[in-house]
Amino acid sequence: MRTTWIFTMLISCLLAGAQDPFSNKTNLALEKVIKDYPNRFHNIKGDLIIQRTQAVQYKSTIQVPGSTSCFITHHVATSNDSYSWTCVAFENRDFNQARIHFKEIYEQIENTIIKIDGEKPFIISGQYRNPVEERKSTVIGFDLLPSVGEMKKLKIELTIENIANAWKVAINVFDNSRKDEPATVSN
């Protein structure tokens, strides 16, 4: 009887401390962003940050908790305008701290199920790449499975990059047909 009680308490403690992989706040924010991708992020576009010849940046109304900034960029081109959503999730001079956050965010994104009204659920899938400090940047590309319709053009990336002696970990959601990379925020 005592062994059964101890076993029951141990299982209860383990289950109470375990994080449900489908309910973390990064997933919830990413799902809202992906749902608005067909609308060119119109419903999550906030105030204007900066306007330049080639790009216009807006604050994002969707923020990943703990991030330093989240913004939408409208890439202006004569032949094909495109939009991207970028979230700088972590920024620090210490590579090891950035590497730990990079892995944590990867684990929060990998195998996320995204449900969009009128569509079958999608699963976000990507292969982990271990960042190396000497490489200065590492990118993990995620696929939406199954990739159908408008969502075929959607690209999700997780990046760790050394910019101006600081390591930045960012999540990017953008149109895969774009020739250039998502813009990074420069402070």
The 10s digit of each residue's pLDDT in 143-158 is 999 888 788 889 999 9
High-pLDDT (> 90) share of the chain, %: 64
Adjacency order of strands within the sheet including 122-126 = 45-51, 55-60, 69-75, 82-92, 166-175, 154-163, 137-145, 122-126, 113-114
Instruction: Identify whether 184 is part of a domain.
Output: no
Would you state the pLDDT for residue 78? 63
Integer Cα distance of 13 and 74 in angstroms: 47
Show the domain range for 60.
20-175
Q: Are 166 and 93 in contact (CB under 8 A)?
A: yes
Q: Exposure string (b/e) for 99-123, b if CB count within 10 Å is 16 or more?
A: bebbbebbebbbebebebeeeeebe
Look at residue 167 and tell me if it is in a domain: yes
Residue 129 lies in a domain: yes
Average pLDDT for 39-57 = 95
Model pLDDT for residues 126-140, shown as the tens digit of each residue: 999 999 999 999 999
Tokens of 86: 């970028």
Domain presence at residue 180: no
CA–CA gap between residue 100 and residue 49 (Å, rounded): 30
Has residue 8 been placed in a domain?
Answer: no
Average pLDDT over residues 19-45: 83
Lowest-confidence segment of 22-36, 45-59, 65-79, 126-140 by average pLDDT: 22-36
- Say how far apart CA 48 and CA 70 lie, in whole Å: 12
Question: Helices 95-109 and 25-36 sit at what angle, rounded to 10 degrees?
Answer: 70
Q: Mean pLDDT, the chain, as a whole number?
A: 83
DSSP annotation string for 90-104: EEES-HHHHHHHHHH
Looking at the 3D structure of the chain, how many domains does it have? Answer: 1
Taking the C-alpha atoms of residue 124 and residue 64, their distance in angstroms, rounded to an integer, is: 17
pTM to 2 decimals? 0.81
DSSP 8-class letter at 166? E
